[in-house]
Amino acid sequence: MSTRKRRFGDRYDGRLLRTVEPYSTIGCFIMKKSNEANNAYMDSIEITEIEKYIRQKRAEGMPGLGMLHIFIAAYVRLVSQMPHLNRFVAGQRLYHHYHVDVTMIVKQDMSTSGVESSIKVRFEKTDTLYDVYRKIDEAVKAVKAQKEGNADVAAKILSKAPRLAVAFAMGALKFLDYFGLMPKVLIDTSIFHASLFVTDLGSVGIKPVVHHLYNFGHIPMFLSFGIKRRAYEVQPDGSVAERKYVDFTVTVDDRITDGFYLAQCIKYLRSYMRYPQQLEKPPETVVEDIE
């Protein structure tokens, strides 16, 4: 978490960026909603070595370790070095998140009738793969034990109210959020106020989707990855080798930074994914965002 003191204009969940370029400021008025600023990127990761690494770590006492943990640990490390990625837009202003909050959906059981629960896990920029594994494991066990999270309870209550009451409540929340006045307890429990929304579609056996961003809340990035696939590739010596890949898509809010910066983020992400050993130790330095 940033050690900077909270100043006028800052929010509970982020500090106002006061020295951004003029175009970044105006862009928040040109593209008023997150879904108007969607940029989608599709790529794949070769996972032959990653799978070996995962098997090794499972044997060393990390049962259940999988691609989800590697993706999130790589993202957390990426944010520590490329801080623009942890920005968000609220009230047509640009902010930087104090924490790294990741939202995901957990099914109680893998069936069409299985109940879905939402969780939001908080990470620090210095977290390692071991920290990420532990925090996700604790959060999943907690939500499965209590069956419903706070966000799920709130959604159930609203779903039973008259539609005009729901529309009024949502309008009031958006109004408060615009001015940074939404109560801290609501921001802390809201799955729509986070750094990243991630979905593991490989666990249900399908390819990743290109997901939209939500106009409620301020999640600036959506990561989706799918089922493992095999490909047969011709090698330099003329032989044919089998390779395994995982496809992924990233949808990002175009207002948080420029395209060149985001391209560099993808390169770093691929490096962290390809060599997850880098994620076992905290980063040597954490790069801070501008004032």
**Amino acid type, 282:** P
pLDDT value for 108? 62
Q: Is residue 287 part of a domain?
A: no
pLDDT of 204 reads 87
Mean pLDDT of 64-92: 97
Burial class (CB in 10 A: 0-12, 13-18, 19+), 130: middle
| Of 82 and 111, the one with more pLDDT | 82
Assigned domain for 3 exists: no
Structural domain count of the chain: 1
Assess if residue 260 is contained within a domain.
Answer: yes
Q: Is the pLDDT of residue 27 over 90?
A: yes
**pLDDT tens digits, 216-256:** 999 999 999 999 999 988 888 888 888 999 999 999 999 99
CB 225 within 8 Å of CB 209: no
Examine the pLDDT at 1 and tell me if it is beyond 60. Answer: no
What is the domain range of residue 226? 17-277
pLDDT at 22: 92
Q: Is 8 within a domain?
A: no
CATH number at residue 57: 3.30.559.10
Pairing assessment for the beta strands 14-16 and 116-123 based on DSSP bridges: unpaired
Structural contact between residues 256 and 86, judged by C-beta atoms closer than 8 angstroms: no
Residues 7-32: what's their mean pLDDT?
93
Structure token pair of residue 197: 């929304």
pLDDT of residue 82 exceeding 80: yes
Report the pLDDT value the prediction gives residue 151, as an integer from 0 to 100: 62
Spacing of C-alpha 64 from chain mean position: 20
Q: Is residue 244, in this structure, part of any structural domain at all?
A: yes
Mean pLDDT lowest for which of 3-7, 187-191, 277-281? Answer: 3-7
Write down the pLDDT at residue 242.
86
- In this predicted structure, what is the pLDDT of residue 114? 56
Backbone angles phi, psi at 121, to 5 degrees: -110, 130
- Gap between the Cα atoms of 126 and 79, Å rounded: 10
* Domain membership flag for residue 53: yes
pLDDT, the chain, mean:
91
Give the angle 210-199-94 at the CA atoms, nearest 5°: 70
- The pair of structure tokens assigned to 4 is 């900077």
Q: Is the pLDDT reported for residue 144 higher than 90?
A: no
Residue 149's pLDDT band (boundaries 50, 70, 90)?
Answer: low
Looking at residue 146, what is its pLDDT?
73
Q: Average of pLDDT values for 181-188? A: 92
pLDDT greater than 70 at residue 152: no
CA distances from 14 to 3, 75, 95, 244 (A): 12, 18, 6, 39
> Is 116 inside any structural domain?
yes
Q: Give residue 128's pLDDT.
A: 98
